[in-house]
């Protein structure tokens, strides 16, 4: 039975989603526009028997999150661009060592100190490649307060299922907006448990996960002896460092990629609205998708066949959805609050089968429906457009 409908802030919804998902450890550092997540969790964690700690910096925060996760707690941190940059090394550590955790990045104008109180979508590529080395990542991008809640829950579920860090890319608009929502209660949600391997401790060192059977790692302090490292390690020998064996390094690297990409159909989520007969599509995500939806509805009211494709996961890239799109429409408009970070990827996936029109803004202001409407108009040159919005 859901809670009563009330005005909830996006950041608050993230915090409540984490609690609902079973998160019991938060370590973070204040940074606009994410700070409310820390403030809400500092109050909520003791209420649910969890732990909140404000660490000395973002580097310490992600390190503490990794430690708590290894000790058996579902853990998260929340930050914005500058803090996200600081966390990159340890995000890679979590990917390499296969430590489930959730990182909330409420994007703001960048680079550097940038525009602390204004939105952007400038961390899209950083979410994919911010940490060094070949790795894969999962990233969600909410575009509503309810999605701040539900996608945070999903982030924890996928972190557990795939033993990986998962990033939630919110932004200053989505994070600070308030919408009337009735947040679900935990019993209405699918919540993935941590689990324990089903082999006895003596056999644990030799048992290996496969892409179809990803085994959970037991917690530190359980009856299993656990060895975690950021060095290349041999999964067949209890995770012992194996930097001198090229075959092990290759095997591990490919496993870490396949672990996620093998399941991309289950992981990738895309919302499609009005796409059944669309001739032109807008591909937009996060807060920009809200403007895109308004522009799409404006076009449809005038009988123009425009649809919206809204990635809910940005990474892994929604190859299948974009592939279908390229076959169906003649133009894909990709508005973003950055300069072509995602549209380059769309263009690569489309491979010339459709025109890709990018539209970027880095002034800290939300892309307005009128901007997207202007781009739509250009695609239907002979249509007699009514001037009303």
- Which residues would be at the binding site for another protein (CB under 8 A)? 24-25, 27, 46-47, 49, 51, 53, 55-57, 59-61, 63-73, 75, 89-90, 93, 219-231, 238, 240-241
DSSP letters, 154-185, are: HHHHHHHHHTSEEEEEEEHHHHH-EEEE-PPP
Q: Compute the least distance from the CB of residue 62 to another protein, in Å.
A: 8
Whole-angstrom CA distances from 70 to 90, 218, 374 are 14, 8, 51
Least CB distance to another protein at residue 218 (A): 9
- Comparing CA positions, the residue from 297, 307, 285 lying closest to residue 367 is 285
Cβ proximity to another protein, 57 vs 206, nearer residue: 57
Nearer to another protein, 189 or 226 (CB): 226
Q: Classify residue 238 as exposed, middle or buried by CB count within 10 Å of its CB (0-12, 13-18, 19+).
A: middle
- DSSP-assigned letters across all residues of 270-307: EEEES-TT-SEEEE--THHHHHHHHHHHHHHHTT--EE
Nearer of residues 55 and 189 to another protein, judged by Cβ? 55
CB closer to another protein, 42 vs 209: 42
Smallest separation (angstroms) from another protein to the CB of 232: 12
Q: 155 vs 69, 100, 175, 238, CA distance in Å?
A: 14, 10, 16, 27
CB 209 within 8 A of CB 235: yes
DSSP 3-state assignment of 268? coil
Nearest approach, Cβ of residue 130 and another protein (Å): 15
Q: Which is nearer to another protein, 190 or 223 (CB)?
A: 223
Least spacing, CB of residue 188 vs another protein, in Å? 22
Q: Which residues pair with 140 in a beta bridge?
A: 168, 313
Residue 76: other Cβ atoms inside 10 A: 34
For another protein, give the closer residue by CB, 220 or 357: 220
Compute the least distance from the CB of residue 45 to another protein, in Å. 8
């Amino acid at each position: 039975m859901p809670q009563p409908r009330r005005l909830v802030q996006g950041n608050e919804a993230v915090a409540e989603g984490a609690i609902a998902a079973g998160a019991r450890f938060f370590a973070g550092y204040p940074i606009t526009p994410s700070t409310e997540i820390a403030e809400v969790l500092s109050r909520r964690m003791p209420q649910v028997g969890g732990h909140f700690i404000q660490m000395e910096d973002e580097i310490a925060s992600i390190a503490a999150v990794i430690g708590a996760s290894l000790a058996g707690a579902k853990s998260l941190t929340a930050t914005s661009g500058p803090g996200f940059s600081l966390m990159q090394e340890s995000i890679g550590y979590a990917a390499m060592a296969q430590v489930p955790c959730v990182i909330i990045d409420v994007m703001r104008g960048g680079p550097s100190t940038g525009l602390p109180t204004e939105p952007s979508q400038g961390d899209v590529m950083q979410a994919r490649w911010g940490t060094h080395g070949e790795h894969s990542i999962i990233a969600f991008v909410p575009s509503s307060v309810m999605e701040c809640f539900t996608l945070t829950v999903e982030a924890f579920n996928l972190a557990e299922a795939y033993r990986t860090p998962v990033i939630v890319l919110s932004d200053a608009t989505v994070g600070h907006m308030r919408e009337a929502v009735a947040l679900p209660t935990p019993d209405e949600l699918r919540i993935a448990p941590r689990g324990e391997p089903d082999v006895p401790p003596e056999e644990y060192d030799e048992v290996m996960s496969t892409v179809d059977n990803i085994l959970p790692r037991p917690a530190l302090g359980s009856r299993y002896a656990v060895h975690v490292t950021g060095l290349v390690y041999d999964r067949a020998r209890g995770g012992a460092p194996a930097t001198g064996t090229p075959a092990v390094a290759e095997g591990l690297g490919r496993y870490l990629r396949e672990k996620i990409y093998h399941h991309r159909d289950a992981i990738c989520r895309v919302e499609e609205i009005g796409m059944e007969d669309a001739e032109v599509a807008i591909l937009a995500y996060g807060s920009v998708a809200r403007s895109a939806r308004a522009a799409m509805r404006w076009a449809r009211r005038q009988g123009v066949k425009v649809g919206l494709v809204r990635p809910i996961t940005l990474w892994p890239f929604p190859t299948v959805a974009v592939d279908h799109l390229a076959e169906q429409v003649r133009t894909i408009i990709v508005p973003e609050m950055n300069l072509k970070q995602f549209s380059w990827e769309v263009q690569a996936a489309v491979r010339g089968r459709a025109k890709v029109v990018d539209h970027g803004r880095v002034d800290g202001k939300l892309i307005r429906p009128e901007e997207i409407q202007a781009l739509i108009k250009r695609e239907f040159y002979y249509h007699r457009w009514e001037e009303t919005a």
